[in-house]
Amino acid sequence: MTNVRPDRAEIERRAVEILERASAFDVPVDLEKVARSLEVNVHFDTLEDKVSGVLIVKGAERNALINAMHHSNRQRFSLAHEFGHLVLHDSEGDRLFIDTNMRVYQRVGGATDDAYNQPDSMTKPHEEREANQFASALLMPSELVLREAVNLDLSEETDVAYLARTFGVSDQAMSIRLQQLGLLQLTNLS
């Protein structure tokens, strides 16, 4: 056990490793395969609207609850985020992660810890940031984004939207990822 926080490169590396182990390094990423590989039971449940997802780890049993009422793109991000908690943070015994609406798609880099510090959150702000970075890397691996983007004009909103659909993510999540990868200028965002 270590207290060293994983940096972004480490999180990217772990996400690709998980995808390869699950034979899911393909577009769109098959989260069912990832769930099977990580031995997580996924349940789509009626949850409070503000709750995106919950991860319950008890001994060898791993259950993820995803809000059944949310848009499928958001469900995918929530599930990938819960996988991030499992992969990055599950070293402290039995844990319960409850994720309320974090408006994660509106955040890129530089967010203060405060922005993630929801009053009823049971996780630490740095864990939320890391789980979001992991989700982004898992759903939009840089190598696959570069491959799919090669013939697109990313200054065109329609091309970004097309890329988002290809990966099963929201336009906003894709825009943020493209910024992170240096493929899109911040000023292109409305």
Which spans of this chain sit near Zn ion (rule: CB under 5 A)? 99, 128, 131
Closer by beta carbon to Zn ion, 12 or else 128: 128
Smallest separation, CB 115 to Zn ion (Å): 14
Residue 134 beta carbon to Zn ion: minimum distance, rounded to whole angstroms: 10
- DSSP-assigned letters across all residues of 113-154: HHHH--TT--S-HHHHHHHHHHHHHHHS-HHHHHHHHTTS-T
Choice between 15 and 160, CB closer to Zn ion: 15
**Shortest distance (Å) from residue 89 CB to Zn ion:** 9
> Which of 134/167 has CB closer to Zn ion?
134
Please answer whether residues 105 and 51 qualify as being in contact, where contact means their C-beta atoms are separated by less than 8 angstroms: no
The C-alpha atoms of residue 158 and residue 31 are separated, in whole angstroms, by 25
Taking CB positions, which residue lies at the least distance from Zn ion? Answer: 99
CB of 179 to Zn ion, least distance (A): 22
* Number of Cα atoms under 13 Å in the Cβ half of residue 149: 24
Which is closer to Zn ion, CB of 80 or CB of 149? 80
Burial class (CB in 10 A: 0-12, 13-18, 19+), 28: middle
DSSP, res 51 = E
